[in-house]
Structure 1
């Protein structure tokens, strides 16, 4: 009864706009008091501090800062020029450019909201000038931005690895093939829309223009090489790679001599606030985790589902549905921190690889970023495009279906996300 009462209290607090982190912390404190009394709260402040200062979590503000420096240093414009020269000759080329640049940007920032804010402010106005409707421009920008949490480095993957006690580096590797599949699928849907609405090409393919933009963007290409090459080569950890990404982004910005300090300051403040929200959630999850451990809820949940079925594919289906529903109402960070510690005992008992499951969770939450009522990425894209969220959602459903197809393939064909993991790590 205590657990049910706490769940109801948390839901009510969220409904009256109490921050999720505060609601979790209050619920956890009530639970601890109910189980062990006042003595259980003696070390709670130290526990919260320790939980929010894990080494792997330092990567989050570093990747956010690297993305801010990159956007303020002229890197984004050069990536757009190169991708436009590469695929702009295809009908609906600007939509393809949008998706292609998101793929590059995802390899530095790890944040879908940062991606849509950076890309959308540049590309959405240009798409509307070229005849794209506001809803289509917003849908392409929003859905492609979710590649940022599938392609490494990914902030939700870092949070999952911390919550599940697994390898951040292996999760990053698992996201490469699904991210590329998602980008290809999004481009295919964008091409169908371009054919239907007779959208224009951007420029004829020109080798000289491609060469020129490639050399201009070459310093920017060093960023994903440093980040991913360092991690996959075993030279640095994910956290150390995040620090290198900041340094490299700053050097590239100086190389281009285009650092906009006002823009950088605003981006850093926004990134700092995003990071603070995530860290507060992590700290609050320590309190809730302590209560759940004492209440044995994760173990009871695992046993309850295993009593229904021990087939791991059915368990994955149940958890997919569960995470898709959770994604409607919670941001990705909150969903991971709140739910993953509860289901990990079930994953281990069912014999499911936690790396494989981490990729499944990430894809579910990428879809959740596109589905109202929360839909943080979709709402950001709608704000930039000044488009109605429901009008955008009607278009975006086709792009969401691509992400859903990638989710199903990665769930039931584990070789898709795990091939590179097994290749690099055995």
Structure 2
């Protein structure tokens, strides 16, 4: 009864726009106070501090900062020119460029909101100028930005690994193939839209231009090599790779001699605020997690679902549906921090690989970023495009369909995300 009342209070506070971190902390404190008395609150400040200072979490501000430097240093422009030279000649080529550059930017920032803010401010105005509708421009930018939490490095994957006590490096590897499949599917849908609505092509394919843009973008290509090569080669941890990403971004930006310090300052402030919000969520979740653990809610959930079915496919179907619903109402960081500690005992009892499940959770939350009412990434894209969110959603549903198809494939054909993990680590 107490647990139901605590969750009802949590949902009520969220609905009346109390910050989620504050709501989590208040409910956790109330739960501990009722069940264990005032003595249990003596160490809550230390518990919150310890919970938010895990080594793996340091990667979050570092990857956000690397993305900010990359965008402020003119690196993004070089990538756009190169990708445009490769695929710009295809019908709807600028939409393809949008997806392709998002795929690369995802390998630096790990944040879909950062991706859509950086790419959208450059590409959406260009797409509108060339005759693409603002609704299509916002939809393709929003959906492709969600590749940032599928392709490594991924901030939600870092949070999941910390919450589930699993390997963030293996999660990064598991995200490669699904991310590439998602990009291919999004490009296919964009091409079909371009054929139907006769969207323009860019300049004809020119080998000289391709060579020139490749040489210009070559320093930028060192960034994913350093980050992903270091992680997959076993030379650095994900957190150490994040620090290297910042250093490499500074070096490449200095090479281009195009660092906009005003832009960088604004991006760093925005990144600092975003990181502070995530860390406050992590700290607050420690209190709620302590209460739930003492009340044995995770164990009761596991026993309840396993009493209905022990089939892995059915459990995954139930959890997929659950996370899709959660994604409608919670940001990805809040959803992971609030829900993962509760469902991990069920995953363990059912014999589901936590790395595989982490990829499934990430895909669900990528879809949640595109579905109102929360839809943080979609709202950002609509703001940049100055388009109505419901009109954009009518177009975006086709791109969301691609993400759903990738989710189902990865859920029920585990070899798709896991064969690289098996090859490198097991």
Q: Distance in 2 between matches of 1:217 and 1:360?
A: 33
Match of 1:231 in 2: 231
Alignment of 1:306-385 (within 5 A): 306-385=306-385
Q: Distance in 1 between matches of 2:200 and 2:19?
A: 45
Q: Distance in 2 between matches of 1:16 and 1:204?
A: 53
Count of aligned positions: 426
1:45 and 2:45 aligned: yes
Alignment of 1:29-178 (within 5 A): 29-178=29-178
Match of 1:400 in 2: 400
Q: Distance in 2 between matches of 1:203 and 1:103?
A: 22
CA displacement at 1:151 relative to structure 2: 0.1
CA displacement at 1:182 relative to structure 2: 0.0
Match of 2:281 in 1: 281
Match of 1:204 in 2: 204
CA displacement at 1:203 relative to structure 2: 1.1
Q: Distance in 2 between matches of 1:345 and 1:218?
A: 46
Q: Distance in 1 between matches of 2:125 and 2:13?
A: 39
Runs of at least 4 residues of structure 1 off by over 2 A? none
CA displacement at 1:332 relative to structure 2: 0.1
CA displacement at 1:8 relative to structure 2: 0.8
Question: CA deviation digits over 1:140-167, x for unaligned, max 9?
Answer: 0000000000000000000000000000
Match of 1:187 in 2: 187
Q: Distance in 2 between matches of 1:288 and 1:223?
A: 38
SS in 2 for 1:200: coil
Q: Distance in 2 between matches of 1:19 and 1:59?
A: 24
CA displacement at 1:97 relative to structure 2: 0.1
Question: CA deviation digits over 1:227-282, x for unaligned, max 9?
Answer: 00000000000000000000000000000000000000000000000000000000
Question: CA deviation digits over 1:318-342, x for unaligned, max 9?
Answer: 0000000000000000000000000
CA displacement at 1:12 relative to structure 2: 1.0
Q: Distance in 1 between matches of 2:90 and 2:297?
A: 53
CA displacement at 1:34 relative to structure 2: 1.1
CA displacement at 1:16 relative to structure 2: 1.3
SS in 1 for 2:374: coil
SS in 2 for 1:53: coil
CA displacement at 1:220 relative to structure 2: 0.4
Q: Distance in 2 between matches of 1:121 and 1:261?
A: 18
Q: Distance in 1 between matches of 2:413 and 2:104?
A: 26
Query: What TM-score results when the alignment is normalised by the length of structure 1?
Result: 1.00
Q: Distance in 1 between matches of 2:288 and 2:48?
A: 10
Q: Distance in 1 between matches of 2:181 and 2:361?
A: 17
SS in 2 for 1:63: helix
Q: Which runs of 5+ in 2 are unaligned?
A: none
Match of 1:300 in 2: 300
Query: What TM-score results when the alignment is normalised by the length of structure 2?
Result: 1.00
- Alpha-carbon RMSD: 0.3
Question: CA deviation digits over 1:18-60, x for unaligned, max 9?
Answer: 1000000000001001110001101110000000000000000
Q: Which runs of 5+ in 1 are unaligned?
A: none
SS in 2 for 1:346: helix
Q: Distance in 2 between matches of 1:51 and 1:14?
A: 22
Q: Distance in 1 between matches of 2:178 and 2:402?
A: 11
Q: Distance in 2 between matches of 1:108 and 1:75?
A: 11
Q: Distance in 2 between matches of 1:417 and 1:35?
A: 42
CA displacement at 1:378 relative to structure 2: 0.0
1:244 and 2:244 aligned: yes
Q: Distance in 2 between matches of 1:125 and 1:410?
A: 35
CA displacement at 1:15 relative to structure 2: 1.3
Q: Distance in 2 between matches of 1:119 and 1:110?
A: 14
SS in 1 for 2:104: helix
SS in 1 for 2:274: helix
SS in 1 for 2:89: coil
